Structure 1
Amino acid sequence: MILSPERKEPMAIFQNPEGQKYLLGKLFVLTFFYLNFLYLIPNYYFKKQYITYFSSIIFCFLIVVLLPDSLIHKRPEVDHKPPAPAEFREPRSGKPEPDFDFKNDPGPMQGPRPSHFSFQLSQNLFLFLSALFLSLAIRINNRLRQTEQLRLNAELSYLKAQINPHFLFNTLNSIYSLAIIKSDLTPTAVVKLSGMMRYVISEADHQFVSLEKEINYIKDFIDLQRLRFDDSVTITFNVTGDITGWQIAPLILIAFIENAFKHGINAEESSLIKIDISIENDQLQFLVFNNKVTVDRAEESGGLGIENTKNRLHLLYPAKHNLVITDTPNSFSVSLTLNLV
């Protein structure tokens, strides 16, 4: 009611024609906001039909400005009160007062008063432009956010599509090694692989999964590697802290573990792999260490795993992770801190 033509009595705005025009104009501006936001912008502006869009804007503006005046007509008013009885009109000085209308006198220092229509026009123009630019700003911002989200989803889908073949190749390689030596542990390895594949197929499409399931998947992977290498490699795996109730991106840690087994195992050399996972408060601390050994160059090809995981970390945990990779001539280690909330 700040800009209302009736400021003294708020309810008078509903009885005064000018107040009714005021309210109707504001109602038209509000209607235009939603019309522009929900229909004009997505159907014309985003489709680059600018002539149709701005023609519609001009048409809406004319409606907002002109229609209230055409719908509501000003009632005739009595500008002068009936003259008071003579005994009450006797001047103090004894002289008759001049019949002068101070109400309509502009005064010596004032020009003609601006018309109410020009005031109403400027007011409606301001509100109309505010509604126009506000609806445009909100809609364009929403569109940019949706576009960015679609881009992230497409990139994540591409990265996840790389995970399954990479995982399957490395795991089948392990089982193949057991089958070559006709190990009695081959059936157990197949069962482990079956459980891991079930997890990958059912959970990898989700953006986040249970941390407990993810750690069980890692445990199965490590057990499979132990079946493959028996006691020729020292492998330690420790989990501390409460892992229940937390969520994590699926297969976000396994690439670093696969890399350790890929570059840190040689039956003819001393091989050591250490994997530690700890949960404290809302942070996950992940550490993988392996000493470097001589490996077959044919197995060094690829390298999708770690780069893939780096990209996923930047997409899923922006400003919520800290990754430190230490590569020395004799060892390789990964330290990752994840904020789980």
Structure 2
Amino acid sequence: MEGNYNLIHDYVIFTGVFAVFLFLTLSIYLFSRNQRLKIKNAKLSESNRLIQNRLNEVQLEHIGTKLNPHLFKNILNSVQSHAYQTYMSLDKLANVLDYILYESNNKFVSPKEELSFALSLIEINKIKVNPLFDFRIKSKIDKSDSVFEEKVFAPLISVDLIENAFKHTDFLAQDSFISIQMELDAGIFSMKVSNKASLKNVLHKDNSGFGSQSLDQRLKLIYSDFYTLRKNSKNGVFTAELTINLGEFYDKMRYS
């Protein structure tokens, strides 16, 4: 009887030990498999991120190839239509073309470079305007700003708002005007463009062109949550306001 008891006791102990061993083995296997799955998922996530980044870059490159000829054509039309000011125009044109040819292919330029380009572009477009036309430009740029010379500005971002103002303004109306305000302060760039819209252009919004759509796409792809773009039309005056938090975007670039 005692022998049977010992046999049962040993069997129970063996079964318990075996169960513990089986549990530990299964736990180690599941843990190992879970770690391998985590590593695999991490690699897949990284691959997806790289693929998405490349798709964004390709899309931006595709947008850029459409944008430059469009801008170049508008500039040449401005110079051609006012040949009597050709010398001044060509001087500004040279600055603009240098920027387009040598800087616009870069992913980012500095606010210093982009704003210099924007001012040259404005001067070229002003050739179209009668000297008595109500043209207002205000530039408030803090050159000591930490991002002023950092590569954080997507090239040609300022083109669309400036070009549209000149393209869609009713220059014959007595109360017509164009107002352009640019500011860089505490890492935040803001640009506000207003103009008296031509009635013809208001009635034919389908001819607004490629620029406006490409601007929205580029801003969303590049700056994501670091920008706002607001557009409104009231009493024949069209206003567009762009704000980009270059400071926070720069921090993200440095630490990502």
| The two structures share one fold, judged by TM-score above 0.5 | yes
1:122 CA displacement: 2.3
What one-letter code is carried by the residue in structure 2 that aligns with 1:313? Answer: L
Distance 1:133 1:186 in 2: 67
The answer to whether the aligner puts 1:235 opposite 2:132 as a matched pair is no
Distance 2:87 2:13 in 1: 103
Q: Tell me: higher relative CO, structure 1 or 2? Use CA pairs within 8 A at least 6 residues apart.
A: 2
Question: Are the structure 2 counterparts of residues 112 and 273 from structure 1 closer, same or farther at C-alpha, using a change threshold of 3 Å?
Answer: same
1:339 CA displacement: 0.4
Contact 1:321 1:338 in 2 (8 A): yes
Among 96, 107, 114, which residue is 2:17 paired with?
114
Among 106, 119, 129, which residue is 2:33 paired with?
129
Contact 2:79 2:89 in 1 (8 A): yes
Distance 1:210 1:225 in 2: 23
Distance 2:124 2:200 in 1: 19
**Structure with the higher fraction of residues in helix conformation:** 2
CA RMSD between the two structures: 2.9
Distance 1:251 1:195 in 2: 14
Q: Name the TM-score, length of structure 1 as normaliser.
A: 0.62
Contact 2:191 2:243 in 1 (8 A): yes
1:193 CA displacement: 1.2
Q: What residue in structure 2 maps to residue 35 of structure 1?
A: none
1:130 CA displacement: 2.1
SS in 1 for 2:232: strand
SS in 2 for 1:236: strand
1:128 CA displacement: 2.8
1:245 CA displacement: 3.2
Q: What residue in structure 1 maps to residue 181 of structure 2?
A: 276
Question: Are the structure 2 counterparts of residues 166 and 332 from structure 1 closer, same or farther at C-alpha, using a change threshold of 3 Å?
Answer: same
The answer to whether the aligner puts 1:311 opposite 2:217 as a matched pair is yes
Distance 1:267 1:174 in 2: 17
Distance 2:219 2:207 in 1: 23
Rg (Cα) greater in structure: 1
Contact 2:178 2:196 in 1 (8 A): yes
Sequence identity (%): 22
**Aligned pairs for 1:12-51 within 5 A:** none
Q: What residue in structure 2 maps to residue 259 of structure 1?
A: 164
User: Can you list the C-alpha shifts for 1:86-108, whole angstroms capped at 9, x where unaligned?
Assistant: xxxxxxxxxxxxxxxxxx99479
1:279 CA displacement: 1.9
Question: Are the structure 2 counterparts of residues 152 and 254 from structure 1 closer, same or farther at C-alpha, using a change threshold of 3 Å?
Answer: same
What one-letter code is carried by the residue in structure 1 that aligns with 2:75? Answer: T
List runs of 5+ in structure 1 lacking aligned partners. 1-103
Aligned residue pairs, count: 235
